[in-house]
Every structure is written in C-alpha cells, then in structure tokens.
Amino acid sequence: MEMANERPYDVVIIGGALSGAATATLLLRQNPGIRLLIVEKSAQLSRRVGEATVEVSAYFMGRILGLTQYLNECQLVKQGLRFYFTNDQVKNLEEASELGGRYQVRLPSYQLDRATFDEEVLRRACAAGAELLRPASVMDVQLSGGGEQTITLKNGEGPITIRTRWIVDASGVGAILARKNGWWRSNTAHPTAAAWSRWKGVKDWDSCELAEKFPKWAAAVYGIRGTATNHVIGDGWWSWWIPLKGGDMSVGVVFDQRLVEWPQDGRGVGDRLKTFLMEHPVGREMLADAVFDENDVHWRRNLAYYSTTFAGDGFVLVGDAAAFMDPFYSPGMDWISFTATRAAELISAQRRGEPMPERIESHNRDFVRSHRCWFEAVYQDKYEYMGEFDLMSLAFTLDLGFYYLGIASQPFKMGLKALLVPPFSDSDSRPFFHLIRCYNRRFVRIARRRRRLNLLGKKNGGHRYLIPGFTLKPTDVGLLVKAMLGWGWLELKEGWHTWFAPRASESPDVAGSIPSASEIGQKAGVR
C-alpha cells in the first residue's frame, strides 16, 4: 500500500556514498534543525572505482569533513603518481622508462577502500542528524520548480511516497535525475572503456626481491613506490595499481576504444585483463604470482558522460550523478568536493530566503563551463600520446604544476570558500585553460605524426624522469618554467613538422565533439 510522509523533508539525498553523505554533512552543519533523509539502495556499500584521492579532495575529506585521524588510522597515505613506459626493446622493470617523484609527497592524499570509507562518512552524517533509509530503491521522482518535490521509494515495507523541498541526486553512474529527464549525454569525443578487479599476491614495489633484482631502479627513488598510484602505460591505454588497506591491490585498465582493441576471445574479463597486462614487462613482473578476485571483476564501456543540467529550484546533482570525465589523475573525488560544497551552499541560500533564479543560473553556468574546459584542457585525445615517455613527462609536469598553482593551493589559502569555485569556471582561469589546452593539443599532433611515421615509443626505454615534488611555494614555478622550455625545445626539434598540417587530415578516425558551453547552457535553460 502506498503511503505519504506526514511532514515533508527539507532535503532528500539519493545515494549514501561519499558524494551524498558529504553533502548531507555540510547541510547539517550549515542548517541546524534541517530535516534530511538519505536514501541508499544497498544494505552495505561496496568497493568502487575512485580509490585514489588527490590534494583538493584530501583537503576536503580531512579539513572540511574532519576525517584526517580516521584516514591516517584506517586507510593508506598515498605517495603521489608514478608511470612506467615500454617499447619493443624493453625487457624488464629496470629497462622501462619511469616518470614520478624522487621523494615523499609534500601534501596529503590517500588510497581508499571505498567500501569502508564511504560507510564511515555515511555513519558520521547520520550521527550528525541525518535520517537513513536502506535498502530502498527509487521508483519515481516528480520535480516541481520552486515547490515540493515528490519521490517514490520501494523498500521491504512496500512503496513509500515522500515529499521534500529539495532532492540531491548522488546516485553515481546511475544518474537518476539526468537519465529520467533527458539531460544525460554520452561524451562521444572521449570513448574510453575500462576493466578492473582487486588482486592478491601482487609483488611489493619496495621489496628486497625487486631491489636485488633491479638495484639501479630501486636506488633511483628515495621515497616509497608501493603506496603511490602506479601506472603501467601503453599506446592508447593506461592501468592503475592502487594498494588498499589489508593487502589487496586494485588493478584496472582504461583505454581509448579508437586506439586499442580489447581482447575478444570468449574468456572472462579477469583473465583477459591479466593477459593484457602481462604483455607489458612491468605488468608481467608484478603479476607473476597474482590472482584476481573472481567475485570482484568489472567492465564498463563508454565511461565519459555529463548532464546538460546540474541544478534547478528544488534539485541539484552532485558527484558522478552530474558528470564523469576520466579516472586518469583521479579527478572524480575533486569533482565530488566541488559539487557537494556548491550544492550545500545552493540549498542553504534558499533556506536563508535568498532569490533562486540567479543562483540556479550561476550554478549551471559554472559547472557546464568547468566540466567542458576541464575535459578539453586535460583529457581530450590525451590517450594518443599517453604511451610516449617524453611527451607525458612534459604533460605531467605541466598538468601537475598548474593544478598545484591554480587549484590545489586555493583551499589552503581560502578554506571552504575555494570549493565554491569549480576549476576553469571564473574569468581569471581562462588564460590557464587556453594554455593547458594548447600544449595538450600540440602533444597530440606530435604523437599523431609519430604514429604515421611508425616512431611511437622510440624514447620509452632506459630513461628516468624523477621530479623533486611540488609544494605550495612560489619557487615551484621553476619546475613549470623548465617544462615550458622543454616544450619549446620539442617544438623546435620535432613539433614544427605539424605547425602547418591541417588538423582534420591527421587522424580523421578519431574525431569527436562535445557541445560548447553555450550549447549546453541553452539546453539547460542557461542564457
């Protein structure tokens, strides 16, 4: 029998994982007495992709959500990013070119077992005053701009209809509101796919065995390799190797479907994943005695998508329910930090009696622009040069440097206010967007020329580029200047061959497009 709640909630949040529970925590903190319900479909949250944080999300989880002690006690401290490249001449780990840090990292970040971590964030939200209904699935949502929203749920007691002023969609890749209302779009300019599992028996990157077998490789780094997010890289693909508390290793492959043909031999995804990685000399070394969990194997095609609408007067989308770009550089947790913070502020503003039309328009405009510029600057066609050690060394230094300079530094200077401004959404960031997009596009064109001339991977053997690491000091600009000079020298040596070549003629089979900010804004009702 269907029933309705007697008194409407102020906010109903669909999804109890990090994005939903974090939004709840902020709302409860900013609005004492608010009546808030979290609806979670699972009886127990499970592991998921998104185990690695970077500096902004680590700040958000530690200093904003207050989880620093928990993170240090129950999760792993991450030691940056590390990459391994190969070509036909590379036979083992020591011969592979390596990119990463030489020392320990300066700012905190973490490797997360999302099953335990998300449950802890949810537990704390409930302790702060949120009500929790689980397991319960969403059957229907009816939106009413500026009015009362209606959500119909199904749990063990039968259908329940709930009224609320606000609905926060934190349903992850399910993207309930975007799919139901026709806002969901696949990013056809970025057709990536992924296969992943959790493993036992992966070799320890810092073991005596590897140090004795490859002494020069072991001695080159003074920090810890094992708790970094290690990446084994190939042409058009990369793999993550993320250690989890307790000894499991999350290992997965992400590839551009225009450049890589995934094995289609009738075997299970896990077996094909292992075979694929064993073709790389580093993967072959690390997985020699490893086994994957047959109950924890996953496959997903066409990873990238976005919603054309991020908020209205009565609803707001957060985390993966709003958009997903790419797991490279782990941007998803930063995206959660920005969307959750801004969602809580939007709802709190309405509760303070502030007019909504301008705030809704600003919210949609900022996140449409942020998503599009973030994708175009950092990710579009990056897989074309991802397997090139020299190009990725420059791109990594520049990407990381500008991230520290323009994004990661801001919360440490401004606190929570910095998370109200998503990346590339304000006018001050436009020059940096154009610069980052420029060098990314240049590296793509150079890689395309190498592909035509059969020159890919020629510089992938026997090199090591180990940076001292970024801080938030002005002297870090020196690393950026050095990388910019390296880019200039690359253009003079090689890039000039592509300066006057028509871009469309270089690689017509990998063309793609994503709507402009104005086009998306028109669909979202943003002028």
pLDDT of the residue at 157 = 78
Instruction: State percent of the chain over pLDDT 70.
Output: 94
pLDDT at residue number 265: 85
Cβ neighbour number for residue 527 with a 10 Å cutoff:
8
What's the pLDDT tens digit per position in 359-378?
A: 999 999 999 999 999 999 99
User: Beta-carbon neighbour count of residue 505 at 10 Å?
Assistant: 7
Summarize the confidence of residues 332-338 as an average pLDDT: 97
Per-residue pLDDT reduced to its tens digit, 206-246: 999 999 999 999 999 999 999 999 999 999 999 999 999 99
* Amino acid symbol at 238: W
The pLDDT mean for the chain works out to: 93
Q: What share of the chain is helix, strand, coil (3-state, %, to 5)?
A: 45, 20, 35
Could you tell me the two tokens for 421?
């401004």
Tens-place pLDDT, residues 40-67: 999 999 988 889 999 999 999 999 999 9
pLDDT for residue 404 is more than 80: yes
User: What confidence score (pLDDT) does residue 520 get?
Assistant: 46
Strand partners, 85: 97
Please state the separation of Cα 420 from the chain's center in Å. 18
Region 71-85 average pLDDT: 97
The token pair at 360 is: 């809704």
CA distance linking residue 434 with residue 446, whole number of Å: 18
Contacts of 482 by beta carbon, 8 Å cutoff, 6+ apart: 397
Query: With 90 as the cut, is the pLDDT of residue 525 above it?
Result: no
- Give the residue with greater pLDDT, 85 vs 516: 85
Q: Which residue has the tokens 């959750």?
A: 340
DSSP class of residue 289 equals T
Share of the chain above pLDDT 90, in %: 89
Each residue of 315-339: b (16+ CB within 10 Å) or e?
bbbbbbbbbbbbbbbbbbbbbbbbb
C-beta separation of 375 from 329 below 8 A: no
pLDDT for the residue numbered 173? 96
Q: What is the distance between the alpha carbons of residues 479 and 346, in angstroms, rounded to a whole number?
A: 38
Span 161-202, pLDDT tens digits = 999 999 999 999 999 999 999 999 999 999 999 999 999 999
The confidence score (pLDDT) of residue 517 equals: 46
Residue 391 one-letter amino acid: L
- Mean pLDDT across 499-519: 55
Q: Any bridge partners for residue 249, and if so which?
A: 199, 243
**How many whole angstroms separate alpha carbon 98 and alpha carbon 393?**
9
Write the CB contacts of 237 (distance below 8 Å, at least 6 apart in sequence): 253, 254, 255, 256, 259, 260, 383, 386, 387
The first and second tokens of residue 290, run together, are 């490893």
Does residue 492 contact residue 444 with C-beta atoms inside 8 Å? Answer: no
Q: What is the DSSP letter of 525?
A: T
pLDDT at 5: 53
Residue 6: predicted pLDDT: 57
Average pLDDT on 470-474 reads 86
Confidence of residue 515 (pLDDT cuts 50, 70, 90): low
pLDDT bin (cut points 50, 70, 90) of residue 501 is confident
Report pLDDT digits (tens) over 413-424: 999 999 999 999
| Max intra-chain CA distance, the chain | 74
Residue 514 has pLDDT above 80, yes or no: no
Q: Nearest CA to 483 among 429, 435, 431? A: 435
Round to whole Å and give the CA distance between 395 and 382. 10
Q: Distance between CA 163 and CA 154 in Å, rounded?
A: 15
Question: Which candidate, 286, 391, 379, places its Cα nearest to that of 329?
Answer: 379
pLDDT digits (tens, 9 = 90+) for 96-134: 999 999 999 999 999 999 999 999 999 999 999 999 999
Q: Cis ω on the peptide bond leading into residue 422 (within 30° of 0)?
A: no
Domains in the chain with CATH codes: 1-75+112-186+305-354 (3.50.50.60), 77-108+191-301 (3.30.9.100), 363-527 (no CATH)
Tokens of 156: 């063990």
CA distances to 16, 130, 336, 419 from 13, rounded to whole Å, are 8, 10, 14, 20
Where are any strands of DSSP class E within 227-279?
Answer: 229-234, 237-243, 249-256
Q: Is the pLDDT of residue 506 over 70?
A: no
Would you state the pLDDT for residue 177? 98
